[in-house]
Structure formats: structure tokens, C-alpha cells
Amino acid sequence: MKKVLIPTKLDRIARDILEKSGKYTVVQEDKVADLVAFAKQHPDAHAIVVRSEKVTPEVIDAIPALKVIIRAGAGYNTIDTKHARKKGVDVMNTPGANSNAVAEEVVAMMLADARHLVEADASCRAGQWEKTRFMGREITGKTVGIVGLGYIGQLVAKRLAGFECRLLGYDPVISSERAKQVHVELVDLPTLFEQSDYVTLHIPENSETKGLVGEKLLSRMKAGATLVNCARSGVVNEADVRKLKTEKKLRFLNDVYPKDEEGPKSVTDIADLMLPHLGASTKEANWNAAKRSAEQLIEYDEKGITSYVVNRDIPEGLDRAYGTLAYTLSRLCRHVVGKDLKLKLIETSFYGELKAFSDWLATPITAAISDELDRSADPKAVQKYLKDMGIEYNNRETDEGKGYGNSITVDLTCSLDAGTLKKASVRGTVAEGVMMVSRINDFHKLYFEPSGHTVVFGYKDRPGVLGQIGAALAKGGVNIDDVRNPHDSKGENSIAILKVNGAVPADLIAGIAKEIKANMAFCVEL
């Protein structure tokens, strides 16, 4: 019998499923004051299932027999996944179990605010009768902008269907075909913020999204529009909301904070509705997460299914550098084809010894174009994600006669419009432990190391352009560390690849692109 610890208020369905299998004994306590002490009491535990409890190195070290930690929910930032990996412990999550709960919460917050339900309830209980004061609005027929069309974003669209809303969406990954299926019109971020009566956020917090919703986007919102954040606190610049709230008469509905804990909240003065991170707090979501936790543990133990392991290391026999190469090439290719274009098809070619690891390498390639997918996701989880987003994936047969050695080619095809596609292709390898990009589209023999901040411009070949680029960057305070500037095979076009000493502002890139009439221009950190 394998011992499973559940030191949290998790639906009893998890315990029931595990015990019914006849292979587990479950120790469950709804509230554990000291998780380390609890862990020390059960050094023979095989697995531990948690909700928001912090699983620290001390907890992991206290259970020498531990093989798996399951987070009954999607996010797993409360678990020290690196220490778990070091100790040979797999960490799993249950993505999607809470998605509907969050989607319904968004609609509930929109309705509660539109009809002043919280204030009206308090007023009525106090014996007042303020019908005029609490004149509300209807959300039927309004335009709702959904930023992020993953599991939750798509469910928000479905839940709002009955309100006959016009749905706008922004997501750099979802295909146009999939967006149409959920009745969402894909637009760029500025357009979404300009045209929406409601903007609801469903994106992860990372280096690219932190502070994304700031003055530039907020200033575009309609007067009286509403911003709903049930995603992550860091994606919204609170200071900019504070700055523009009165001027734009914005409504701000919030359910996320830097830390889930008691105490004053920094958004108290600007939030029109505040909830204590209740997105996943429904009986159904708790039941779903509990059920999936138990089922995944059984599949993990009996069938070796690791679809939801989020901290697996690279397969035996594969140099770690090639996993990084796959991610980097895909990230670079995404910028070459156009970061905001709608992805339709991913095609890959793995040469040499890498062919044997093609399924595993599909994960870093897909993760590079999606913030929602973890780089440790199992191939089956990657396939499901791509299907949900309406993106095709094709791993091509390769011709070893080409002599490419251990190299990877990544092609991305995007939709420009209903009848026009745009494709980009990047190839690279690892030489003496160093990643090298050998080709971008029709520009061969590049051999540049994709690391740090890289600026790329494509343009019709003519004298003096590289000098213009260098002068403009210098004027902007940007120092160039390395340059590649080849022609294509026909000698008609050139590409300038410059490694620089820091991030280059988007307006500077745009200014240079306009000056040199570039057909491709971007800065990416690789």
C-alpha cells in the first residue's frame, strides 16, 4: 500500500478514488498548521496532494520516500519544482480543472458591478430604498475584449454567448479557425482596448506580460469601460490605473494580488470590486481538481503516464543544449514570421540523432510560442494544447543525405488574412556546446549565436543601409556587439542581425524600419 498525504481541504473524492483502488492508504487533514512537522510524521509517504500550500525544500526533504507531488490546480509556483527534481520527485498539476470556475467568476463580477449588487444589498439591509442611486447597466449587446484565449479565455467566450455580446480577442497563438469556432473576432491589443466596453485578462505573468496593461493601453479605453483581472496581479500597472481611472471613468474589478494573504491591498483605492482570489473556489472546481489528482496519480503509478509532470528533466541520451536550441529557434522563428500573426501550422525537421527525440523536442518548440505551455509538459499534453488552440503540428521525414548533422529546422505558417498565408523557416545546431543559427528563410550560412538581445532587420539590398541602422542605434544609446549582414541566394535582399547590449525600445525599432523601408524588423531576447 502506498501512502498519500492530503494536508488540505480537498474534496473527499480524491481519497475515495485512491482507497477504492485498493493500492493506497490516504492520510487527509483539512488544515495543517505546520506542513514540515506533518511531513516528518510520514517519511514513508509516496505522494502528497496540495492546493495552495507551500511545498518547500524542507517539506520535500522530510519525506525520503516521496516520488510525486500533485498540485490540485493549474499554477504550481508554491512548489519548489527545482528542489523536487534534484530529489527525483515529479511534480504534477491538473490544468483546466478550475477553468470554468474562473470563467463564471468573470461573468459574475461583470454582472455584480453593472447592477451594483454589492452596494445595493448593503443599502437595502440598512433599511434604505435607493433605486435611483443604483441604476445599472446591461451587458447584453456590449463588446467584450478577451486578452488570452487559452482554456479560460475560450470558456469566457462561451459563457458570454447567451448575452449576445460582440467578442474581441487577442492571443498570439490561437488560430483564426479556432477563434471563429468560439465566435471571437481576433484583433490587435490597441484595437481591443479601444473598442471594448469590458476587457477581461487571461494571460500568465512573465517578463513580456508584466505591466502590459499600462498607460498606453488604458488610455485607449472608452470612457466608462471596465477592466476585469482574474489572471495575475502583475500584468496590470496599478499606478497607471490610478492615474487614468478618474479621467477615463474606468471600472476596475480585481481578484488577484501579489500574495494570497490577509492584510491591506494596494488596489483598495482603485478597485470597484475586490474578491479574495475566489476564481477557483467553487465546490465543482475543488471536486474536479481532487478527482483529476487521484486519477493522474493512479495513471502515473500503473501506466507510467507523465502527461502532467511539470518538472521532468531531459530524456536520457539527449544533450540538454538541444532542448534549449529547439526553444530558441522556435522563439526566433515566431518573431521572424510576425509575433502577432495568427499561427496555423508548426512544421519541424530533426536530423541525425535528434530524430529519436522528436516527440520530446516538440514541447520546447511549442512552449516558445505560447506562455501558457510549460517547457516540461509531456508530448500528449502538447498535442492536446495544440488541438485546443486549432494549430496543426507536422514533424517531417528527413533526408540524412543532406549532411546537416544534429540540427533542427522549425517552420511556422501564419494567417495574414482569410486567403493569405505567411511562412518563416529557421535552422540551427549546436557546435562545441554553443548554439548556432545557420539559416533564416533564404539567408544561409549565418552561423550566429542566438543569445542575449538581438535586433533583426530585413530589407532590399542596397549600399549604406547597415550604416543607417548602426547610426540610429548609436543615437539611441544602443551598443552593437556583433553583426551578420548577408544577402539572400538571389542577391536581392539583405538581413542585418545585430547582437546588442540591451533591449531596444519598440519605437526606435519602428523608426529605423521606416527609415530603411524594412520588410522585417524586431528585437528579441534569446
Give percent of the chain with pLDDT exceeding 90. 75
Residue 27 pLDDT grade (very low, low, confident, very high; cuts 50, 70, 90) = very high
Query: Is residue 87 scored above 90 in pLDDT?
Result: yes
Residue 36 has pLDDT above 70, yes or no: yes
Q: Where are the beta strands (DSSP E) in 315-431?
A: 342-350, 392-395, 407-417, 420-431
320-525 falls under which CATH superfamily? ACT domain (3.30.70.260)
Q: How far apart are CA 183 and CA 351, in angstroms?
A: 40
The answer to whether the 2-95+283-303 and 99-274 domains have the same CATH topology is: yes
Q: Above 90 in pLDDT, residue 89? A: yes
Confidence of residue 351 (pLDDT cuts 50, 70, 90): very high
pLDDT at 471 over 80: yes
Q: Is the pLDDT score of 353 beyond 80?
A: yes
Q: Distances in Å between the alpha carbon of 38 and those of 35, 73, 128, 472?
A: 5, 22, 51, 61
Superfamily of domain 2-95+283-303: NAD(P)-binding Rossmann-like Domain (3.40.50.720)
Sheet holding 90-93, edge to edge: 24-28, 2-6, 47-50, 68-71, 90-93
AA letter at 197? D
User: Which grid coordinates belong to 144?
Assistant: 467584450
> What's the CA gap between 360 and 439, in Å, rounded?
23
Model pLDDT, residue 115: 97
Determine the straight-line distance between the first and last CA of the chain, rounded to whole angstroms: 47
Q: What is the pLDDT of residues 161-206, one digit of tens each?
A: 999 999 999 998 888 889 999 999 999 999 999 999 999 999 988 8
> How many beta carbons lie within 10 A of that of residue 523, not counting itself?
20
Tell me what the mean pLDDT of segment 428-433 comes to. Answer: 88
Average pLDDT, integer, range 297-305: 90
Residue 356 backbone zone (phi > 0: left; psi -120 to 50: alpha; other: beta): alpha
In percent, how much of the chain has pLDDT > 70? 99
Q: How confident is the model at residue 108 (pLDDT cuts 50, 70, 90)?
A: very high
3-class secondary structure, 413? strand
pLDDT at residue 487 is higher than 90: no
The domain limits of the chain are 2-95+283-303, 99-274, 320-525
CATH 3.40.50.720 fits 99-274, yes or no: yes
Top mean pLDDT of 61-65, 77-81, 316-320 is at: 61-65
Average pLDDT over residues 507-515: 94
**Residues 504, 461 contacting (CB under 8 angstroms):** no
Q: What is the mean pLDDT of residues 8-36?
A: 94
Average pLDDT for 324-345: 93
Whether the pLDDT of residue 442 is over 80: the answer is yes
pLDDT digits (tens, 9 = 90+) for 196-232: 999 999 998 887 889 999 999 999 999 999 999 999 9
C-alpha cell at 507: 519605437
In this predicted structure, the answer to whether residue 375 has a pLDDT above a threshold of 80 is no
Which parts of 310-366 are beta strand (E)? 342-350
pLDDT of residue 204: 85
pLDDT tens column, 234-288: 999 999 999 999 999 999 999 999 988 889 999 999 999 999 999 989 999 999 9
CA geometry: angle 451, 456, 460, nearest 5 deg: 150
Pairing of strands 2-6, 24-28: parallel
**pLDDT at residue 460, rounded to an integer:** 94
pLDDT value at residue 307:
74
Residue 313 has pLDDT above 70, yes or no: no
Give the C-alpha separation, 204 to 470, whole Å: 35
Is pLDDT of 95 > 90?
A: no
pLDDT at position 349: 95
Is-contact 169 146, C-beta < 8 A?
yes
Mean pLDDT check: name the lowest of 122-126, 140-144, 372-376: 372-376
107 vs 434: which has the higher pLDDT? 107
415: confidence class by pLDDT, cuts 50, 70, 90: confident
**Average pLDDT value over all residues in the chain:** 92
Residue (of 302, 343, 292, 349) closest to 326 by Cα position: 349
At residue 220, the 3 state secondary structure works out as coil
